[in-house]
Structure 1
Amino acid sequence: MSNAQFETYGPSPAAHEPPAYGGFDPYSAQTLGYGVQGVHGGYGTRTESYRPAYEMYAMHGAHGTHGSHASHGSHHGAHEAHGLREPYGKHAAYDAYETYEDTYKPAYEDPEPEPEPVVRPGRGRRAAHRRKARPVERGEGSMRRLVPQALVVAFLAGGTSAFVAKDKAVELRVDGKPRTLHTFADDVTELLTDEGVKVGAHDVVAPAPDAALTSGDEVAVRYGRPVRLTLDGQRREVWTTAHTVEAALKQLGVRAEGAYVSTSRSRRIGREGLALDVRTERAVTVMADGRARTIRTNAATVQEVVDQAGITLRGQDTTSVPLDTFPRDGQTVTVLRITGRKEIRDEAIAFAVERVEDPSVFRGTEVVERAGVPGLRRITYSLRMVNGVRQKPRRIRTEVVREPQTQVVKVGTKPLPTSVRGADRLDWQGLAACESGGRPDAVDSSGTYGGLYQFDTQTWRSLGGKGRPQDAPAAEQTLRAKQLYVRQGASPWPHCGGRLHG
């Protein structure tokens, strides 16, 4: 312990005033328990063990390491106060409130200290008000020297009490490993910082990090561990502070009874975490062959559930939900018994029609130059019976047997003549009414004659007509009938020809 502590808390100016106790000085060497008489008097070895460090320095530093004046019997009285006085002499006791210049000057340099002027606290050496000290008796001087000692002892005792009060004994448990330690931290955060314990967002600290600390408290830190959990087919990442798989399942609220767990439940979870697949127990009903079976299972697929129910799928048999899906709690799975056959059907493919303009054909006339041919399509259907019920045919294959051929039609653009010399003034309307009832598309019962004037195909084409007469416009049919009259007269219409002349 350095002398600087005692110099900083040196005697107050009141220590230089005469004592107020008259002839009895309670702070003299005879009454102070820690004085020289305590060493050689009634306190013996017990008080000597509590001798302050500054007193030991005064006796061994000022008079050598082999004893002081006070340790010799013949000089006991003469140096009784001297052993206590020297460390707090001129440069210690009276200059305590001045600057720290020459604070470590040994006591033996001034064996006979002279009175110094009083220096008031809070003022420097230049500002001090000095007055001449009056002589004091031996008892009064002893008191002045012992008062600073008492103040230093009191300060040390108070500082030690405050020091002990700040010290706290706490138990710190980090991830289940406890240790008891002493700390001056005020709260949990400060304690963890002092001990180098780092916590993250997923770690748990109890009590809260801002909670104040008192002696006897218990602080627990539980590190979070990542768990890549697949629970009933759903994948997610969760965090837990549990140390084992079983404890983690409880903490996460997973119903573990009857569940499938991909690893041992007693396995410890390290800080790096682990991957965990859990399938809880579920109730699934399987309907097959008119009978319902409800089983409790932790199966991963519908196929496993069907197998556990003792049901065999044959041929085209399947289930109402895909066999590779995850079975849910309370789900009903229906087994579909399928029987069936294939059926092939041929269908016609319609041909396309291409129209081409032809200037050699009178306007309004269309002539089929190339007839279209329908194509052929062959379709294969599946005819099924599901649990005895006939299902709608399902197309499973289609192939084209023959491609269709496009039909080509010529469309006339040639203007029609307005008249035929020698035949314009005849009653062609009366003739048409007699031959076809005035219908341009009329065809006789034999199919040989057609149109307004019942042309046969050979005669029609000899007159320049295209296609069939009944397909030509009425104006073209009248034109061709006039041309025929000019060539042959009324003979082509032996029964109705007389109508031409009214």
Structure 2
Amino acid sequence: MKNIARMKLRWLITGSMLLALAGLSVYTAIMPKARADERSLAVGEHIITVHDDGQSKGFITKKQTLREALAEAAIKLDRNDRTEPNIDERLVANSYNVNIYRARTVVVKDGSQLTKIITSYRTGKQIVKQAGIAVRDEDILTLSQSNSPMRDSAAEVLSIKRATPFNFDFYGKKTISYTQAKTVGEMLAEKHIKMSANDVIVPNKDTKISRGMNVRLYRNGTQTVTVDEDIQFETEQIKDVNRDKGYKEIQTKGVNGKRTVTYEINVQNGVEVSRREINSNII
């Protein structure tokens, strides 16, 4: 019985030692990477952590630029790919987090106009800027996965929903405005315009917005408006007895000036009945 007890004790000791060695091996296999990041860097060394399409990779380099460091780590970039920080940035800090944005084909749908572009950008405004397509703040840009990649020859589609242009008389200031609203009332809410008791909107708030329509917002009663006006230049004539009669020559071409004028006006039922200048300033 004593021999059997000694045998079991030896097995237990041997098993414990094997488990301890196995645990040490696992610890040793896991920890070196952590120690590589935490250890003191040698002069000229930099820790680079690259984030590339959801994958992360870390390495240490002595290269002087990000381009050289990525090449050393065998991380290839297409000419349309983009990095943050810039690919040619000089490495001076101890550590860097590098984002790689891989280029892909995006189809921009602007009404019936289709534009195909290879881009590494991730937002609609960045993509249309690269494509040279002008958009306004009121336009809606939607970037989504293509429903038919074979038809679009692209995995992503950027759709532009253009705002509707209309002529807006805003308390006497006339502009071409743009809106995504369906009615005049929704347009006022969209532009955060709050009407007072004396304000009148024409046509009424329930009117549907249409391309090129006229919308006027005015205030009944006495009010002030400020406008910019041209100042006509003066002509100075200089007589030269050495020239023939009737001879004329422009020495300096005149240029109109500008002034800002504030008027007190009286409006009744949408019609201005009086106007008085109360202040002016030459610009």
Please tell me the TM-score bracket, short chain as reference.
0.3 to 0.5
Larger Rg: 1
Q: Which has the higher strand share?
A: 2
TM-score normalised to structure 2 length: 0.34
Q: Which has the higher contact order (CA 8 A, sep 6+)?
A: 2
